[in-house]
């Protein structure tokens, strides 16, 4: 697994919100997908096969960027950005067809 920091943009009824999360994944694309799943409130509807944008109810989620980071950076970023990486339950997510 590699360490990534993923930037997301969410569009909600004319408003825009940005989020950053830490993810461990096998690739940049998988990191973006896992971050989207972690942010979605319900089961996401995917815009395309790349799974880099989706929607649920009235919200649209888009991967704005993915950066690979080393172990030391990842540890510090997780401590300050989110206490539990979105990939924490990766086996559960992958069983849902990600």
Q: DSSP characters for 23-77?
A: EEESSHHHHHHHHHHHH-SSPPEESSTT-SEEEETTEEEEEEEEEEE-HHHHHHH
For each successive 10 residues of the chain (98 residues), what is the average pLDDT? 94 91 93 90 78 84 95 86 55 55
Q: What pTM was computed for the model?
A: 0.77
The pLDDT score that the predictor gives to residue 76 is 86
Q: How is the chain split into domains, by residue range?
A: 2-87
């Amino acid at each position: 697994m590699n360490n990534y920091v993923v930037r997301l943009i969410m569009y909600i009824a004319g408003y825009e919100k940005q989020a950053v999360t830490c993810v461990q994944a096998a690739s940049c694309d998988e990191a973006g997908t896992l971050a989207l799943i972690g942010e979605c409130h319900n089961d996401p509807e995917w815009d395309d096969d790349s799974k880099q944008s989706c929607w649920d109810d009235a919200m649209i989620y888009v991967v704005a960027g993915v950066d690979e980071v080393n172990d030391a950076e990842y540890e510090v970023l997780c401590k300050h950005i989110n206490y539990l990486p979105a990939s924490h339950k990766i086996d559960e997510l992958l069983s849902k067809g990600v």
